[in-house]
Structure 1
Amino acid sequence: MGHREDLLEGAKRCLLANGFARTTARDIVKESGTNLASIGYHYGSKDALLAQAYVSLVEDLGDAFEDGGKIESGSEPGSIERFREAWSNIIATMREPGSPWHLSMEVVTMGDRMPEVREHLVRAQREAGRGIIPLFMGGAEEDVRDETVDTLGKFYTTLMSGLIAQWTFDPEGAPTADELTEGLRQVIAQAVRESS
């Protein structure tokens, strides 16, 4: 690995151990075995590096869903069962020790104090919406249209944000995949009754 990759991996370890606010450039340099000048050369700033490290941590989780075969082959894309399975897999990652999801709440609460991180993650959130759709609906990420990202993608990322918040603040009371699925069933049943 070169300095760029070493910095990214070191920053990921620092984020998991210390979070955004408590990670210093010196921490990253120590963890990565590089030097301070490398951060500016490869990423522009410590905050830009931390933002990229966080995106990479989340992408690693997404890759595990796609490559790990965690969705049973029998569940139909777009089905209630697929909805339950996908949330079950996502929630499982929230239960794991060292889960990176708590970092999302840190970004939200820090708001404008880390503008470079926030700006980078705002841009990445749209692509997260595009990436999460195939997990639930099947198909390929590159085939997801912008209009679908602006509706279904935002729907799923809003559910994800709420779920992350609940798991961060109250893991014992946070919803399970079965509870989320039952809530969806109730919404669908009410919508069907109203349209009849």
Structure 2
Amino acid sequence: MGHREQLLEGAKRCIMERGYAHTTARHIVAASGANLASIGYHFGSKEALLREALIEMTQDWVDLWRVAVPTHAADPLEGFEKTWAQVVESFAENRPLLAANFEALTCAEHAPDLRERLSDALESAAAPDGLANLLGVEGALDEESARAVGRLYLTLLQGLMAQWLISPDLVSVTDLTDGLRVLLRQPPIHRRGGHPRPEREVLGTASSANNG
């Protein structure tokens, strides 16, 4: 492994352990075994090195969502719930990487090159062969449908990650799935401390709330 690769790996380790804002050039040198001069030679500055490390880390996180997708579920929303429950369970072991993803979004506000690279990564995740393929959609989809599902999944993923980083208790895939059931005019199947209410009662409650 050359100095450039050593520096990138050291920078990634520092971002995971210390965060982007608290990583210094000396931290990277200590973690990589390279020297200060090599940072300038290969990247021009510490900031450019950290941005490159963030880009690679952001591209890598898509590989985390290779979950065991349920197939032939009697209820498609049941399959959705099981799949996304696995995704959320993976957050705990990948917390530093999730945090780095959001640090990258913040840094991109003042770094056009980083914003462009992140845009490419997000576009790839939302593409028909991205998250829609990784997280599984039963049945063949045309390209536009797969792209729409990919964008929905990307939005869900980023929203769930943000909520989980703040407070894991905020995240409930069960509530998310039941919310979809209500929007699809189906009765929720989960009720805390009770049985599911009849569809007419659920929809009547929602209608009353909307008219109030």
Q: How does 1:106-185 map to 2 (within 5 A)?
A: 106-110=103-107, 112-130=109-127, 131-137=130-136, 145=143, 147=144, 151-172=148-169, 174-185=170-181
Superposition CA RMSD, Å: 3.4
Instruction: Please give the per-residue CA displacement for 1:44-68, whole angstroms capped at 9, x wherever unaligned.
Output: 65444434433444554443443xx
For the residues of structure 1 that align with 2:54 and 2:142, how far apart are their CA atoms? 23
- How many residues in Structure 1 have an aligned counterpart in Structure 2? 182
Q: Percent identity, aligned pairs only?
A: 39
One-letter identity of the residue aligned with 1:35: N
Aligned to 1:194: none
1:182 is displaced (CA, Å) by 1.8
Cα drift, residue 31 of structure 1: 0.9
**2:126–2:132 contact (8 Å) kept in structure 1:** yes
Contact 1:71-1:82 within 8 A present in 2 as well: no
Give yes or no for contact 2:11–2:32 (8 Å, CA) kept in 1.
Answer: yes
CA distance in 1, matches of 2:64, 2:109: 32
Equivalent position of 1:84 in the other structure: 81
In the alignment, the residues of structure 2 paired with residue 44 and residue 149 of structure 1 have an alpha-carbon distance, to the nearest angstrom, of: 40
Point out the more displaced range, 48-57 or 11-20: 48-57
Bigger shift: residues 20-29 or 38-47: 38-47
Q: Which residue of 1 aligns with 2:207?
A: none
After superposition, what is the alpha-carbon deviation per residue over 1:6-62, rounded to whole angstroms, capped at 9, x for unaligned?
222212111111222222333222211123444455456544443443344455444
Task: Answer 1 or 2: higher relative contact order, Cα 8 Å, separation at least 6.
Answer: 1
Greater Rg over alpha carbons, structure? 2
One-letter code aligned to 1:19: G
Any conservation in 2 of the 1:50–1:117 contact (CA below 8 Å)?
A: no
8 Å Cα contact 1:83/1:181 also seen in 2? yes
Residue 167 of structure 1, CA deviation: 1.2
Partner residue, 1:23: 23
Between the aligned partners of 1:97 and 1:153, the Cα distance in structure 2 is 22
The answer as to 2:14 corresponding to 1:10 is no
Match of 2:34 in 1: 34
What amino acid is aligned across from residue 9 of structure 2 in structure 1?
E
Q: Superposition pairs for residues 89-108 of structure 1, below 5 Å?
A: 89-96=86-93, 98-108=95-105
Unaligned stretches of 5+ in structure 1? 191-196
Gaps of 5+ in 2: 187-212
Deviations 1:148-179 (A, max 9, x none): 5753222211112211221122222x222222
Q: Tell me the TM-score normalized by structure 2.
A: 0.67
Structure 1 residue 189 corresponds to structure 2 residue 188: no
Residues 1:148 and 1:50: Cα distance change in structure 2 (over 3 Å): farther
Task: State the 1:110 CA deviation.
Answer: 4.5
